[in-house]
């Protein structure tokens, strides 16, 4: 019995590590040209045609408390970096729900619907956010809520967007 207990604890620890790996791993790369996005006006979104050199893709949900909490800081980040940075709030929820959510919050962010979320982009936690360059190279990854307009995050983002 004494020999079985350490082995059982080791198995439990390994199972927990595997769970955390699956939950918190991130996409090795993202190809924006493969996104099938529709905005709240029911128009297809071509994120490569924007004027900005960088895209902040924020995978979120309207029911997610942490997603809602970080929206004001995303709004402020958008106003501070609008010339260089396009922010997309991406969800697999209906356009009707996204439109109502945007109106209720009086948001100026761009909310878009993606046709398939989850496995292709390794999204297991909301919010999950990627800063991408024009080639789809991931420059920054954030899992969970951030203060996007905090001095620390702004400094790091600005350094990456040089």
Which band of pLDDT confidence, cut at 50, 70 and 90, is reported for residue 76? very high
Write the CATH number for 81. 3.40.30.10
Please give the pLDDT value at position 43.
85
pTM metric for this prediction: 0.79
Rounded to whole angstroms, how far apart are CA atoms 108 and 118? 26
Which band of pLDDT confidence, cut at 50, 70 and 90, is reported for residue 29? low
pLDDT per position as a tens digit, 3-27: 676 666 666 776 665 555 555 555 5
Domain that holds residue 143: 27-160
Please give the pLDDT value at position 16.
63
Task: Indicate whether 2 belongs to any domain.
Answer: no
The count of other CB atoms within 10 Å of the CB of residue 114 is: 21
Task: Indicate whether 8 belongs to any domain.
Answer: no
Residue % of the chain over a pLDDT of 90: 53
Task: Indicate whether 46 belongs to any domain.
Answer: yes
Question: Got the DSSP string for 87-125?
Answer: EEEEESS-HHHHHHHHHHHT--SEEEEES--SGGGT--S
Lowest mean pLDDT among 5-19, 52-66, 113-127, 129-143: 5-19
Task: Indicate whether 12 belongs to any domain.
Answer: no
Rounded to whole angstroms, how far apart are CA atoms 141 and 108? 23
Task: Indicate whether 120 belongs to any domain.
Answer: yes
Mean pLDDT value of segment 35-39: 82
Task: Indicate whether 92 belongs to any domain.
Answer: yes
Counted domains in the chain:
1
């Amino acid at each position: 019995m004494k020999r079985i207990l350490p082995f059982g604890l080791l198995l439990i620890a390994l199972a927990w590590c595997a769970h955390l790996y699956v939950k918190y791993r991130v996409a090795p790369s993202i190809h924006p040209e493969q996104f099938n996005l529709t905005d709240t006006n029911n128009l297809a979104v071509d994120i490569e045609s924007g004027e900005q050199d960088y895209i902040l893709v924020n995978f979120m949900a309207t029911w997610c408390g942490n997603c809602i909490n970080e929206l004001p800081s995303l709004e402020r980040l958008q106003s501070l970096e609008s010339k260089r940075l396009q922010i997309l709030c991406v969800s697999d929820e209906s356009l009707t729900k996204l439109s109502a959510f945007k109106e209720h919050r009086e948001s100026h962010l761009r909310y878009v619907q993606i046709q398939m979320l989850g496995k292709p982009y390794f999204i297991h936690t909301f919010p999950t956010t990627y800063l991408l360059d024009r080639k789809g190279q991931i420059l920054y990854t954030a899992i969970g809520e951030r203060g996007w307009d905090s001095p620390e995050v702004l400094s790091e983002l600005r350094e990456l967007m040089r």
